[in-house]
Amino acid sequence: MKKTALIQILAIAMVVAAMAQKPTISNAKLQEVSAAGGLKAAFDAILQKQDSPAWIGYRVPVLPKERTMCCFDSVDKAQSTKANCCMGCRVESSSGNSFSGTMDNCQPPEPFRYAFVFFRVETKRVQKIRTYSPDCALDFANLPVYWLENVDPAQSVQLLTEFVLAAPSEDIDRKKSINNAGVMAIALHDHAVADQSLEKLIQPGQPERVRDEVAFWLGVERGKKGFELLRKYVRNDASERFREKGTFALSRSEEPEAIKELIAMGRTDPSTRVRGQAIFWLAQIGGRKEAEQISEAIENDPETAVKKKAVFALSQMKDGEGVPLLINAAKTNKNPAIRKEAVRWLGMTHDPRALDFLEELLARP
Q: From CA 222, how far away is CA 282, in angstroms rounded?
A: 20
Q: From CA 85, how far away is CA 137, in angstroms rounded?
A: 11
Angle among Cα 74, 79, 85 to the nearest 5 degrees reads 100
DSSP state of 70: E
- pLDDT for 60-94, tens place per residue? 999 888 888 888 654 444 444 444 555 678 898 75
Percent of the chain with pLDDT over 70: 83
Specify the pLDDT at position 359.
82
Q: Give buried/exposed letters for 193-229 (b at 16+ CB in 10 A, else e).
A: bbbbbbbebbeeeeeebbbbbbbbbbbbbbbebbbbb
Specify the pLDDT at position 80.
47
- pLDDT for 215-243, tens place per residue? 999 999 999 999 999 999 999 999 999 99
Name the burial class of residue 2, with classes exposed (0-12), middle (13-18) and buried (19+) by CB atoms within 10 angstroms of its CB: exposed
Specify the pLDDT at position 76.
43
Spans of all domains in the chain: 21-151, 153-233, 259-365
Written as one string, the DSSP assignment of 6-61 is HHHHHHHHHHHHHHHTS--EEEEEEEEEE-TT-HHHHHHHHHTT--S-EEEEEEEE
Residues of the chain with pLDDT under 50: 1, 3, 6-19, 74-83, 96, 104
**CATH architecture observed for domain 259-365:** Alpha Horseshoe (1.25)
Specify the pLDDT at position 81.
46
Specify the pLDDT at position 20.
54
Q: Residue 245: which H helix or E strand, with range?
A: helix 240-252
Specify the pLDDT at position 292.
84
Look at the alpha carbons of 66, 18, 190, 72 in this order and tell me if their dihedral is positive or negative: negative
**With a threshold of 0.85, does the pTM exceed it?**
no
3-state secondary structure string, 78-139? Answer: HHHCHHHCCCCEECCCCCCEEEEECCHHHCCCCCCCEEEEEEEEECCEEEEEEEECCCCCEE
